[in-house]
Every structure is written in structure tokens, then in C-alpha cells.
Amino acid sequence: MAKSTAQTAALLEQYCERLQPMLDWLARYGADPQGGVSRLLYTPEWVAAQSALAQYMTEHGLDAFYDQAGNLTGRLLGTEPSLPAIATGSHIDTVIMGGKYDGAYGVVAAVLALAYLKEAYGPPKRTLEALSLAEEEGSRFPLTYWGSGNITGKYTVQELPHVQDRNGITLAEAIQAAGFGAASPYVSGRREPGAYIELHIEQGCVLERSEQQIGVVTGIVGQRRIEVRVTGESNHAGTTPMSWRSDSLACAAEMITTVRRTALAEGDPLVATVGHIQPFPGVSNVIAGETMFTLDIRHLDSQRLDEYTERLRSELAAMAAREGMTLFWQENLRAEPVLMNANMIDELQQICEQNGIRSRQMPSGAGHDAQVFGIMCPSAMIFVPSRDGISHNPMEYTAPEELIQGFRVLTQWLYQTAY
Amino acid sequence: MAKSTAQTAALLEQYCERLQPMLDWLARYGADPQGGVSRLLYTPEWVAAQSALAQYMTEHGLDAFYDQAGNLTGRLLGTEPSLPAIATGSHIDTVIMGGKYDGAYGVVAAVLALAYLKEAYGPPKRTLEALSLAEEEGSRFPLTYWGSGNITGKYTVQELPHVQDRNGITLAEAIQAAGFGAASPYVSGRREPGAYIELHIEQGCVLERSEQQIGVVTGIVGQRRIEVRVTGESNHAGTTPMSWRSDSLACAAEMITTVRRTALAEGDPLVATVGHIQPFPGVSNVIAGETMFTLDIRHLDSQRLDEYTERLRSELAAMAAREGMTLFWQENLRAEPVLMNANMIDELQQICEQNGIRSRQMPSGAGHDAQVFGIMCPSAMIFVPSRDGISHNPMEYTAPEELIQGFRVLTQWLYQTAY
């Protein structure tokens, strides 16, 4: 018997109240003494967390099943199974000494959303799937997006079996010990959902500083990682007059200033960061003959990203030449931007407006599973604020009412799309 | 029977020709396979080199004796022993993988000069001493100027017996193994020469670039070593817009540019060097929350050194404040300038002019034993060019004719001062 609007509204409130306790419950799997969470792929803590979630799904009427990579799905079968399924979720793994929101929030919200929808409205027309993806961070093995990658075909479950974690355990050993892998009783992860939507903390301070409650993500930025080396001449810091020096660190310092100046001039959403620098020999009383520094450049528009990067390269090369130094430039990573689905962006924006939720559209500067799904099917992301922009840290925090706001938007979008 | 001027001139030529072979001979003690020299304090190579030099001294009529620190003196007794002795020499130890000129040139030249003077003119009025000082570099134990310091009272031979080398051998063990120390049959090193003069390679490129043959050293610069830390805020390199960053490395980069700009504006002989920098966490995709860098500032004038350093500190503090960051500033080393004796500088300058030798007065940007003697007795230094300014390296090189020019100036000054 269908519930009244008042009844479903009251039920939604009950589910909203479960968000924070369920996040705290999940954070006990891999809890660090320092207050954070370390839940690395295929560790006993990780296995226990997935098992507990599977049990929760089953108890709430979802059809829970694993795939060979260890991705956990809680399925709410639709009445029109020929329609493409809608998946929502995030990743269950954390970085070492991470927080309790990154990934976990999207998983918990997905499970609660489907449980609520089933209880409030019964089965949907389109099948709904809550995903607890095996891995996204790359913190145990150097395989970021392992979970979503096994669904989209970026990886197969037999990929790189010999890659080792810091204790020398191979991926093949770890996956077997966790009870998964190609020889396990589980199905292959490969499939193509009709849509993917991910709720996640922002991991930045844009929403907080602009006093918005929800960020509707326009896309995940593309990224270039470059290693730069400036070579001058090493000399004695005492016996070499200032005007005769070929000081690679002094030259690199001016280049770093140029990076900041040009990135500010280019404007949002471009960001350019020098996070690491290493002079050689790196001794206080020796002029550095060579200096290496890293460049991390991101933009939502691939062409503007390339244009900025190429202009910067020219400018740094000219600076090196003016000082008689040589510039080495090596691109070590190239990730293209992935745009979120325009219709889904519009629908999410409308939901916010209809409900009086302060929202803005924004790119994601960080990587997410949605960028892996986004090249396969219509995808979207919803951000909630991160206090002080802190993430990957035990201090990671989002207030319960902000978590609830994101959950409401997700739930309403799932309802209006699947029912 | 006194020799004629022609005879002494011919004899001097013979001694000049011995310089390079004797340097090559000494370089065999501690020769590296790569072509350099590693002759660390109290090692078997070091002991063998001092023994060989002692034998050479004895064979050339000098009274050779050690002190408890292992300093070797070759004495040519004056006919008026009440007059203060004149000492000349340098250090016998090298850095690890050093060259064959640093220190060794001054030692070899001292021994040859006294041998020549004795053979050409017989005993002087004032006693002359050729010093092969035990240690200057601080490459085995952290005790720079150990040799001259034991003579001037900067150290006693029982100083810091427990200080260890990288193999865990204590100074007390090393000194005893080499046959020296307070329990050895040797005398204490403590004494006060009437003057000290040191011949040394420049270890810089000033003479070479200005096409001078001899540098008459005006003084050894004072030095400040400072550790600077800039603290901003660590954040995600992807999710933090450029205009909201508190990037300590970007701020430090502007400071390094300020160091170079202000040091160039101040002009010679001031030098200011940032040789090392370390951002934290120092990861390519994280904005550095804190950045440490070193400052090495030198000047011959203590007051101008302090004034520059204080101005720089104010300027960097203002830069940090403008960006809302904090500046930590810690002076880790403070060495005052030591001026060389004005009369000796004049006399050396005149010798150069009378002999048509291209010379210039210049400060020493590097430390030398002369700065230890210089606070005790009238002291002077003579520099010869270093090819490409390279030192502390197997590539260290000075042409034989340039070595000879320095030897001539030293010998003439010793002759006119002691006879």
C-alpha cells in the first residue's frame, strides 16, 4: 500500500538521521588510534567493512553481491529490467591515515538511499545499484581506480598480479587472501550501467568559502605532471662572486614565481602547483648546479590546459636561456578532463533550486571514480563542503546537516530518474 | 761561503722545478683510483704522508718535530733566537675525494722555501718554520682547524675524545692509533709564532677571470649560516583555487629571488647563497605547507655583513606577512671576518709589483688556517689561480708556472723578512 507524502517525508528524515551514525560505524573498520581511518585494499579491515555492508544491504532488502575484484553491489531490481540500471556509490578504501568521509560518504549514502527508496516507494522502474567500490586511492598498490576500472574494463582482475605492496605482498596474493580474484566464485565486474552518480566530499574549500551547500560537478579536470630540471654550475658559495654565478636554484625560484603569476593570470579553474623541489648537491655552502622541481597543472578544458602548459614551457625555457642554463622538461602523467553529463547537471541544479539549497556548479580538481564511469556512461557528482578543505587526513570533516543535504539531493535525483 | 746572486737565482730555479714533482709525490699518499686524493686525519695514508715529509725536512737540513696533535714542523733555526719565529705552511689533510693542491701546495711550498733559503743563504736571523698542519677540513671528525687550533689554543689535544668518525672510531682512538695524543712522547702544540703566512690555491675563479697571477688576501670573510622556515598551509593541489592558496614554496621562491637581487645590489665582496631547500610534505600534488631553506651570507666587513643580514631578515619577514605566512629565522653559525696584516699585505703587493707579477688584493670567501693564526699573530695569505674555480674535487688544478709564481712571492717575502 502506497505511503502518503507525509509518511515518505517522515521516513526520509529517519534515514537522514542514520547517515552520521552509519559513517561512524563504518569508520570503526580500520580505525586508527589517532582518530583517522586506514582501510587499504584487501586487508582484513577492508574485508570486514565490505562484509558488514553486504549484511546491511541484505537486511534492508537489497540483493548484495560481489564481483571478482571485490566490488560490492546492493541491487534494487526494477520492474522494467530492460531499462539500463542506475548506479550510485563510491569507494570503500582509504589512504593511509585518512579520514572517515572520503569515499565512505558516497557508499553509505548510496546504501541508505536505496534502502529508503525501497521502503518508501517499493521497487523502481529502473534497477538501482548501490556500489561499494573496492579501491580508488592507489594507497596499497599503484592501481588507482582499481574498483571502477574493473567494471569499465580499464583493468582486468588479472592485471599486474606481481605488483607488490610495501610489505612485498603481490596483488595476486592479496586478492586471493581476501577471497576474490578470477578463481573465486564471483562474477566478473564488467558491465555498463545506464548512469552513474557519486556523492562525495569536496576535499577543497570552494563550497565553504563561497558559502554554498552543494556543488554540482561539471567535470573532473585534466592533469599534466611534469618534471623540470634546470642545470647551471655548481660552485663554492664563499669564493664565487654573485655576478659570476650560474645558480640553478636561484633560476628555479624565479621559475616557480612565474608559475604562480601565470596561473593566477589564467584564472580559475586552472591550477598550477610546484609541490616538490630538490637542488643538487643541496648543501648550504655550495651553489646548486642542478635543481629539479615538479609541476602539477590542471584544467577542465583540455585545449586550454595544453595551451597554458606550452606557454609556460616556452617562458621557462627562455628564462633558462637568459641565464645560460639548460632546461629539461618531461611529462610524466597526462590525464584528460572528463565532463559530467549535461542533463544530469541540469537535473541536479534544478533539484537544488526547487529545494532552496544554495548550490554552485564547479569542476572537481581531484580524481574520482566518476571520471572512470564518465567515459562509459552518463555520470554526475554531487559535492558537499569539506571543513577547511582538509582531506586525506584524520581531521577531515563535514557537518551532519551538510551530509544530509547531499543525501537529499542524491535521493531525489534517484527517485525522479528511476521511478 | 756566500753564494753570488747568479748562483742563488739558479738555485731558486731548481727549487721551482721541484714544486710540481713534489706535489705529485705527496698526492700518492691517499691517492684515489679516480685521480683525486683522500687523506683524512690520522689515517695510515695521513701518517705516511707526514712521515715522508718529516724525512724530507731532515734530509734538507730542517729540524723536524711533531706536536701532540700531529702537526709537523720543519724548523730552520735563526741566529737571533730571541726574535719571534715566522711560520709558513698549510694543512696536510684533504676532503674525501679531494684534489692534490688544497693544503698540500702550501705545505710543499713551505718545505721547499726553507730548504732553498738554507741552501742559498744559510741560517736566517729569525727562525723559520715550515708547518704541515694536521687537519683543517673537518672531513673525518667535525673539528675544522684542528691542526692550527691546537697551536693557537682553540683546541687542546684532549678536546672531545668521544667524537666519532663515520666508522664509529673516536678521536681518542684515532689519535692514539696514529701515535699522537697527550700520552705520546711529543710536545704540546701551543706556541705563538711571530707571523704566519700561507700559500694556497684560490678555490674560486676570481684570479682566472680577472687574469691575475697572484691574489694578496685582505682577509677571510665572516659568515652567517641561517635556517629559514616559511609556514603557510598545506592543501590539495587540485581542489584549491590559485587565489586561495597559502603556498609556502611559492613564497620561499620569491624570497630566494630577493636574496639574489639584494646581494647583487649590495655588491662584492658580499655573497648570499641558498644552497638547500626542502618543502613539506614535498609531494607533487600537495601544496607545501612549510618550506625550509638555508642561507649562507659572507662579507669581509662584519658590520656590513650584519646590516645586510638584518635588512634581508626584515624584507623576508615583510614578504611572509604580506602572504599571511609566518617566518622562522635561526642563525646556526656565526664566524667573524679575520683581517690579514696590513704591513704584510703591503710587502706582498710590493714584491709582486717589483717582479712584474699581475696581482690583486681580494678577500678569501673560504676558510683557511690563516684565520685561526690571524687572531693570534700578524698573518697573510697568497692565492694562486684555480682552473675554473674548481676545488674539493679530483679536477682541482693549477698550472705549474702559476704554482711557481706563488712560490717565488712566498720565498722572497720570507727572505726579506727573516734575513
Chain B interface includes A338 (CB < 8 A): no
- What is residue B26's predicted lDDT score, i.e. its pLDDT? 98
- CB distance A269 to A221 below 8 Å: yes
Q: Which residues contact A247 (CB under 8 A, 6 or more apart)?
A: A232, A287, A288, B260, B273
User: Which residues of chain A fall below pLDDT 50?
Assistant: none
Measured between beta carbons, which residues in chain A are less than 8 angstroms from residue B221? 238
Partner residue facing A298 (CB), from B238, B255, B264 = B238
Helix (H) or strand (E) holding A383: strand A379-384
Q: Which of residues 221-280 of B touch A (CB under 8 A)?
A: 221, 223, 225, 235-244, 247, 249-250, 252-257, 259-260, 263-264, 268-277, 279
- CB distance A226 to A317 below 8 Å: no
- What is residue B406's predicted lDDT score, i.e. its pLDDT? 98
Q: Three cell numbers at B191?
A: 706556541
Nearest-Cα distance to chain A for B145, in Å, is 17
Measured between beta carbons, which residues in chain B are less than 8 angstroms from residue A253? 252-257, 260, 274
Nearest-Cα distance to chain A for B386, in Å, is 11
Q: How many CB pairs (< 8 A) connect A and B?
A: 205
Predicted confidence (pLDDT) per residue in B91-139, tens digit: 999 998 899 999 999 999 999 999 999 999 999 999 999 999 999 998 8
- What is residue A159's predicted lDDT score, i.e. its pLDDT? 80
Long-range contacts of B174-179 (CB under 8 A, 24+ apart): B174/B41, B174/B42, B174/B140, B174/B141, B175/B42, B175/B69, B175/B70, B177/B42, B178/B42, B178/B43, B178/B46, B178/B47, B178/B70, B179/B47
- What is residue B399's predicted lDDT score, i.e. its pLDDT? 97
Predicted confidence (pLDDT) per residue in B223-238, tens digit: 999 999 999 998 899 9
Report the complex ipTM.
0.88
Predicted confidence (pLDDT) per residue in B328-344, tens digit: 999 988 999 999 999 99
Predicted confidence (pLDDT) per residue in B46-73, tens digit: 999 999 999 999 999 999 999 999 999 9
Partner residue facing B288 (CB), from A239, A269, A275 = A275
Rg value, chain A, Cα: 24
Chain A interface includes B102 (CB < 8 A): no
Size (chain A), residues: 419
Count the neighbouring beta carbons within 10 Å of the beta carbon of residue A172.
17
Query: Nearest 5°: CA angle at A366, between A38 and B231?
Result: 80
Q: Please report the domains of chain B, with CATH numbers, ordered by start residue.
A: 5-220+337-418 (3.40.630.10), 224-335 (3.30.70.360)
The tally of CA atoms less than 13 A away on the side-chain side of residue B390 is 15
- What is residue A263's predicted lDDT score, i.e. its pLDDT? 98
* Contact yes or no for A252 and B253 at CB 8 A: yes
- What is residue B142's predicted lDDT score, i.e. its pLDDT? 83
* Contact yes or no for B242 and A279 at CB 8 A: no
Chain B interface includes A204 (CB < 8 A): yes
* Strand residue runs (E) in A240-342: 271-273, 277-280, 286-287, 290-299, 326-335, 338-339
Unique residue bearing C-alpha cell 738555485: B11
What band does B1 get if pLDDT is binned at 50, 70 and 90?
low
* Contact yes or no for B275 and A288 at CB 8 A: yes
Q: Three cell numbers at A92?
A: 570503500
Predicted confidence (pLDDT) per residue in B72-82, tens digit: 999 999 999 89
- What is residue A416's predicted lDDT score, i.e. its pLDDT? 97
